[in-house]
Every structure is written in structure tokens, then in C-alpha cells.
Amino acid sequence: MIRFSFVAAVLALFSIGAIAQDGTLKKIKDSGSITIGHRDASVPFSYYDDKQQPIGYAMDLCHRIVDAVKAELKMPALKTNYQLVTSANRIPLMANGTIDLECGSTTNNLARQEQVWFTITHFVTANRWVAKKSSKVKSLEDLKGKTIVSTAGTTNIKQITEINAAQNLNMRIISANGHPEAFQMVETGRAEAFVMDDILLASLAASSRSPKDYEISATALSVEPYGIMLRKDDKEFKAVVDKAMTQIYKSGQINAIYSKWFEKPIPPKNINLNLPMGAAMKKVVANPTSSGDPKDYSN
């Protein structure tokens, strides 16, 4: 058993080294397939429809990137595989070569860029919290000594933990395995608030049994640019992907794609987020960037 584990570890390291040396495009060409990492409940970015098929705004963008890869490699019959990922395992699965694109709601920041790269930002959100209106939580001070939940493996739980310590709020912070589980904790009274990106909170509240019962904080804890994740130091692949994303923006295709997921009823429950494109995202469309610095998204 020990010998097998050692051999497996060596093979895994060899695999990572081979990808880093040869690049993602060669890996895709040699295998005849590209693997998209997706989420199961990051509405409207990447989630399952009623047929358990991955759909969403980020998925639509990734499909267009795949078309660009097919054209680059002259492989129109390139196969697309799908791999479910979570907040906790998405970076390791990218690093070890299991997935080639991660199409979800992943924040691009400077710390993560030490492990992975990102293509052009496709959404700009903010870290906030949702709570029941009846709890009358208006500020961080109102959360002092309360139970707070966030999703494991996210920048959000890291940030609220740091704020808790810095401001001596004595909050009890618990982690959930996914966004729906975290929201349910607020729904059932097991947590006072759920700290997460505001767009994801909005979609969860809109999909709940009583949307009017919930309120998202006016206070923003941070700016969170979302990006499709790639392997680090793969300049050739990033150039192809960035070119595809820039073309989507410059051609105006992004407007219809955005409207489809944020301004119209979406499956499977036909909820409408009614969220026009914000100023920060319009700035990205006009001047595409994959920066992980929040300052680059201010007006």
C-alpha cells in the first residue's frame, strides 16, 4: 500500500511537470479533449439545470473559449469533458491537470495568482452578507457575538475571519460545504448571516421560498473580480483564451450573453435577477483586464 502511494505520488508530480513544460494546448491536442471545471450551484454563473447539465453565464463564455481553442488547434471535433469542482478543490484540480478551464464564480486576486492564472475578468462583485430582515442586521457591529456562516475554500470566509479578529467582534464563524447549505443555515436560524459575493447572495435569496424575507448588506467588505481560471505560467494558452474573451467584449457579444443571465428569467425556476451591467464591469468591457488588484476596478 505504501509502495503504491509512493508510485502514485511520483506519477502525479511527473504529470504536473509535463503540463507545465508542454502547456495546456499540447495536452488538449494530444488527448483530443478539453475539460471544463464547473460548479453545481453558483447561480447564474455555473450550476445544474433540471436535467443535471451544467449551464450559466460563465459556462456560455467557456463554450466560446472552447470554440477558439478548436480553431487554434484546427480540431473542430475536439471533445468537451465536464468535471464538477468545489470552492475547496478547484485550485488543486487545475494545478494537477484534471481541468483545463474553471468556469464558475472564482475571485481573481493577487494571492491566488501565485498558484493559478486567470483570463479576462467576466464579472465584478463585492463581498457582503445576507440576513433575515427581521434580525435587523445593518452593520458589522450588529453581528458582534453572533454565528456567521460562509463557504469553505472561499476568499469570503478568509476575509470575514480576518475582520472578526481585527475588530474583536467575537463572531462564531462556521464553514459550509456549498452556497445552498450556507444560505439554508440562515433560513433555518442556525446562522445570523451568510457572508459571500453579493451576486450569489442575490440569486440564493431570489430562489428561496420567501425572497422578501432577506436583505443584503449595504456595507461592502471588498471588491471581487471574477475570472475563468487557467494553469499558471502557461502564456501560450492564456494568449488564446484572452484573445477569445477580448473578441467577445469588443464585438458586443457580451451584451446579449450578460442580458440572458442577469436581466431575463433563467432556468430552472425562471427567476430574474434584474441586474443591469454595473459601472465596474462596463469598464472591463471597454478595457479588458485580468488584474487581481481591486483598485483596478474602481471608478
Confidence of residue 21 (pLDDT cuts 50, 70, 90): low
Question: What pLDDT score was predicted for residue 19?
Answer: 56
Whether 56 contacts 42, CB under 8 Å = yes
Question: Once rounded to an integer, what is the mean pLDDT over residues 132-155?
Answer: 96
Question: What pLDDT score was predicted for residue 8?
Answer: 45
Question: What pLDDT score was predicted for residue 142?
Answer: 97
Instruction: Report which of 196, 199, 195, 217 is spatially closest to residue 207, judged by C-alpha positions.
Output: 199
Whether 223 contacts 297, CB under 8 Å = yes
What is the chain's alpha carbon radius of gyration, rounded to the nearest angstrom? 20
Question: What pLDDT score was predicted for residue 298?
Answer: 81
Whether 268 contacts 49, CB under 8 Å = yes
* C-alpha–C-alpha distance, residues 111 and 155, integer Å: 10
Whether 28 contacts 35, CB under 8 Å = no
| Residues with Cβ within 8 Å of residue 35, at least 6 apart in sequence | 80, 81, 82, 83, 98, 99, 100, 101
Instruction: Give the domain ranges of the chain.
Output: 2-122+227-297, 126-223
| Residues with Cβ within 8 Å of residue 52, at least 6 apart in sequence | none
CATH of domain 126-223: 3.40.190.10
Question: Once rounded to an integer, what is the mean pLDDT over residues 2-19?
Answer: 45
Round to the nearest angstrom and report the end-to-end CA distance of the chain.
Answer: 57
* C-alpha–C-alpha distance, residues 71 and 87, integer Å: 31
Count the neighbouring beta carbons within 10 Å of the beta carbon of residue 7.
10
The percent of residues above 70 in pLDDT, for the chain, comes to 93
Secondary structure element (H or E) that encloses residue 12, with its range: helix 2-22
The percent of residues above 90 in pLDDT, for the chain, comes to 90
Task: Give residue-wise pLDDT tens across range 107-126.
Answer: 999 999 999 999 999 999 99
Whether 163 contacts 155, CB under 8 Å = no
Question: Once rounded to an integer, what is the mean pLDDT over residues 140-146?
Answer: 97
* C-alpha–C-alpha distance, residues 157 and 145, integer Å: 16
Instruction: Report which of 272, 132, 146, 275 is spatially closest to residue 215, judged by C-alpha positions.
Output: 132
Question: What pLDDT score was predicted for residue 2?
Answer: 40
pLDDT at 54 over 70: yes
Domains 2-122+227-297 and 126-223 share a fold: yes
Q: What is the mean pLDDT of the chain?
A: 93
Task: Give residue-wise pLDDT tens across range 168-208.
Answer: 999 999 999 999 999 999 999 999 999 999 999 999 999 99
Task: Give residue-wise pLDDT tens across range 60-98.
Answer: 999 999 999 999 999 999 999 999 999 999 999 999 999
Question: What pLDDT score was predicted for residue 274?
Answer: 86
Question: What pLDDT score was predicted for residue 183?
Answer: 98
pLDDT at 163 over 90: yes
Answer positive or negative: Cα dihedral of 178, 116, 259, 81.
negative
Question: What pLDDT score was predicted for residue 40?
Answer: 96
Give the fold, CATH level 3, of 2-122+227-297.
Answer: D-Maltodextrin-Binding Protein; domain 2 (3.40.190)
SS3 content of the chain, % helix, strand, coil (to 5): 45, 20, 35
Burial class of residue 131 (count of CB atoms within 10 Å of its CB; 0-12, 13-18, 19+): buried
Question: Once rounded to an integer, what is the mean pLDDT over residues 134-152?
Answer: 97
Task: Give residue-wise pLDDT tens across range 203-251.
Answer: 999 999 999 999 999 999 999 999 999 999 999 999 999 999 999 999 9
